[in-house]
Amino acid sequence: MAESAFLRSFLQGTPPKPLRMIAAQGLAPIPPVEMLELLVHLTGDGDADVAAQARRTLEGWSAEELLPHLQSRTCSESVLDYFAAHSTDAAVHEAIILNPAAPGKAIAKLAARVAPPLMEIILYNRVRLIQSPEILSGIKNNPAITTQIQVLVQEIENEYFTSKQTDYAVGAKEEEAAAPAEEAVELQEEAPPDDLILEGLPLDPQEREAALQKRIAQMSVAQKLRLALVGPREARTILIRDANREVARNVLQNPKLTEAEVETFAAMRNVSDEVLRHIGISREWTKSYGIIHNLVKNPRTPPFVSQTLLVRLRTKDLALLARDRGVPEAVRNNAQRTLRARSAAAKSTAG
């Protein structure tokens, strides 16, 4: 959105102090989105009184008022960076992390101080990590980092910043950053046509799956990656369990993937914890109660995902979970605490 002349006069000039003070109080006649940008700009004003007033005004904005702006792709980078540095609200942090427009320096600030669930979401955006390696440094310096996240950080560093660093380099020369056209053609030719992957398979379900598994086992990694991204349901069911995490991750990016399939994946105990983690931090998939229920009950689901989703279970399912010896003890104990809290709240309301 084009900035107004009023906002531009502040960003490109220095209006008189009385006018700057009025703006710092949030009284300028401009839309809220511009007001946020103006107030953030004024926090760096050369006059201490104006800067302090702007900060106080920003502190008066509630998370509910901020979130629509922080979630917008058109949100100013300065605004995202300011709240990444100054806000202590987890919902605000999540909105910034999930905004593709958020600058790497803002995410790096958050990476050094957010709780483990948000660290996991930060690590999901591999492209941003490659562009801004300081984000990984922030996570490693975060005092709340868990062993599981440390392992994931190490895997990402090994995959993108060591032996394969040149393959994923950002800002390299064009001829080094992009694969030659000839190689791209070879990959396309190497991948099997989607409509032929199921051709000639037995009709018996068990024999059919075994034959398809054998066929997929003979594929190269490049073929599996493409098949995971565009292949049919039967292939997706097998590839989601592939030992190569990139292959399994591609399945979750397949545009043909259905909610029913993801619900099945969420219950699987032979998929990687990373697959369950990706499902659990997805806003799209966790709109489904069935997916949430299966994730929480799955002992392979990372504990932070289970703990986050557990409070969304219905009381009946929560009661069953509290007695389920098949889930981690921490999840079971949390279910019991949540039940007690609900019971106390119900009694309080009734009273």
Residue pLDDT, tens place only, 92-134: 998 899 888 899 999 999 999 999 988 988 887 777 888 889 9
215 and 102 together in one domain: no
189 and 220 together in one domain: yes
283 and 210 together in one domain: no
Determine the pLDDT at residue 185: 38
261 has pLDDT over 90: yes
Q: What is the pTM of this model?
A: 0.51
Average pLDDT score over residue span 44-69 = 92
309 and 342 together in one domain: yes
Which of 93-107, 114-128, 179-193, 195-209 is the most confident on average?
93-107
196 and 273 together in one domain: no
Helices 90-98, 116-124: axis angle to 10 degrees equals 10
Q: Amino acid identity of 11?
A: L
237 and 334 together in one domain: no
The residue among 139 and 184 whose pLDDT is bigger is 139
14 and 85 together in one domain: yes
Percent share of the chain, pLDDT over 70: 87
Q: Given pLDDT bands bounded at 50, 70 and 90, which one contains residue 4? A: confident
12 and 115 together in one domain: yes
Number of domains making up the chain: 3
185 and 218 together in one domain: yes
Answer yes or no: is 67 within a domain: yes
Question: For residue 19, what are the domain limits?
Answer: 5-141
191 has pLDDT over 60: no
